[in-house]
Structure 1
């Protein structure tokens, strides 16, 4: 269609029309013969660029066929995938760039004013944030302790993209959570980790007291999204270590950890 000026003109007219137009009306507007207009309309219809509507006849005769342009919605899923692919092939750099993007997003949000001084405070801020963004969060009391709180993300607006680009999508979400928590005073108090797809339709955010608060002699460790945990000195996840987080995250394949406060 793009190489046909008559069809582009017809499509532009139909997009600007407030109601369907028939071939006779379009022929009058464009100055083309009605048979030529019908030919172009047939092509546009086959390309799913216009849609036909039956209209009442003018006086006696058969019903008229009206045409209206198909309103195409923006393919946000496709756009997000293209943007994710532009972050390069190095998984660590993609992860770090995604965290930075998430933090930038979080800095622009109105996150309220709820001082984070405890795990309970961090949980409240996280649940509120995720609720507003459509993640349908649920608290998981079974996985809670004095050192951690689990929040289940039962929905995700970009779930399909996250299945193929988890190091990007999940790190954007992690950076967003990090930024909002830090803006409310969580830096040095609480760490956030994100465990994607612990079940086919479920991700989990783990909020935990920073290592320095549990043991002042240990530095808090950070694992970028998609990075090898051993490459940064953190032991790999095992059935025992994951089990301590509660039964809901025993099947996690990847542990997406918060960037440490020292890196920011």
Structure 2
């Protein structure tokens, strides 16, 4: 079958046997003579898909709770990663950090320059290692990935700068991470309102009681914030 001389094949099989990459076994007798020796490959990989399936099944039956638990697990994972410490003060910073991290983890991220604006960046995830499990447990697998990205961005100072959303299976083999810049909203000063006293004033930035500028969203979708919103319903978008 290999086109190699039997002595050559036997030599290589002996080497593979010593390295524990194949094992020998006796084949059933076929008439007279000594039983023939067979070889089979040694399966050394751990069944991570099976393990992930078991763990996902243990998170309960409520999709919301499963998603919340998965996002929390993703954040815990992100906190343990030895990622580069790069301050995130802009959307471009968040994009670079996310691309680097997901590339190192084997997700083969790709930029989508045609969709980039000053307010959003799309990152295409083309090689999810847990894609098969995500097809049946998207709220768990995608929740972990979402929590991971959020934690890395937040940990490097981007919590009030960039929001992350994840869109599973926009194509059969493709998921998309959406990074969106959080923007402050200018509101008129009370002095400039029609029923106010006729005083001149400049627009001011609305701030909460603590005096901190409140980041506002580009759209009214309440799930855009990094507040660990439920991602189960996002798989249908």
Shorter-normalised TM-score: what interval?
0.5 to 0.7
Spell out, residue by residue over 1:2-58, the C-alpha distance to the aligned partner (whole angstroms, 9 max, x if none): xxxxxxxxxxxxxxxx86xxxxxxxxxxxxxxxxxxxxxxxxxxxxxx86257xxxx
With the length of structure 1 as denominator, give the TM-score of the two structures.
0.60
Q: Is the 8 A contact 2:24 2:37 kept in 1?
A: no
Deviation at 1:167, TM superposition (A): 0.3
Q: Of 172, 182, 189, which residue of structure 1 is paired with 2:144?
A: 172
**Aligned twin of 1:204:** 176
With the length of structure 2 as denominator, give the TM-score of the two structures.
0.67
Structure 1 Cα separation of the partners of residues 184 and 70 of structure 2: 26
Spell out, residue by residue over 1:107-155, the C-alpha distance to the aligned partner (whole angstroms, 9 max, x if none): 0001111110100000000000110011111111111111101111111
**Aligned twin of 1:96:** 68
1:147 aligns with 2:119: yes
Structure 2: which 5+ runs fail to align? 1-16, 28-32, 188-204, 207-214, 224-228
Q: Of 70, 81, 89, which residue of structure 2 is paired with 1:109?
A: 81
Q: Is the 8 A contact 1:51 1:69 kept in 2?
A: no
Are the structure 2 counterparts of residues 51 and 214 from structure 1 closer, same or farther at C-alpha, using a change threshold of 3 Å? farther
Structure 2 Cα separation of the partners of residues 151 and 141 of structure 1: 9
Q: Of 140, 143, 162, which residue of structure 1 is paired with 2:134?
A: 162
Are the structure 2 counterparts of residues 211 and 166 from structure 1 closer, same or farther at C-alpha, using a change threshold of 3 Å? farther
Q: Of 20, 25, 35, which residue of structure 2 is paired with 1:52?
A: 25
Structure 1: which 5+ runs fail to align? 1-17, 20-49, 55-60, 229-251, 255-264
Structure with the bigger percentage of helix: 1
Deviation at 1:77, TM superposition (A): 0.3
Are the structure 2 counterparts of residues 82 and 219 from structure 1 closer, same or farther at C-alpha, using a change threshold of 3 Å? same
Number of residue pairs aligned between Structure 1 and Structure 2: 178
SS of residue paired to 2:166: strand
Are the structure 2 counterparts of residues 65 and 186 from structure 1 closer, same or farther at C-alpha, using a change threshold of 3 Å? same
**Aligned twin of 1:253:** 236
Are the structure 2 counterparts of residues 68 and 130 from structure 1 closer, same or farther at C-alpha, using a change threshold of 3 Å? closer
Pairwise mapping of residues 29-44 of structure 1 onto structure 2 (< 5 A)? none
Q: Is the 8 A contact 1:91 1:167 kept in 2?
A: yes
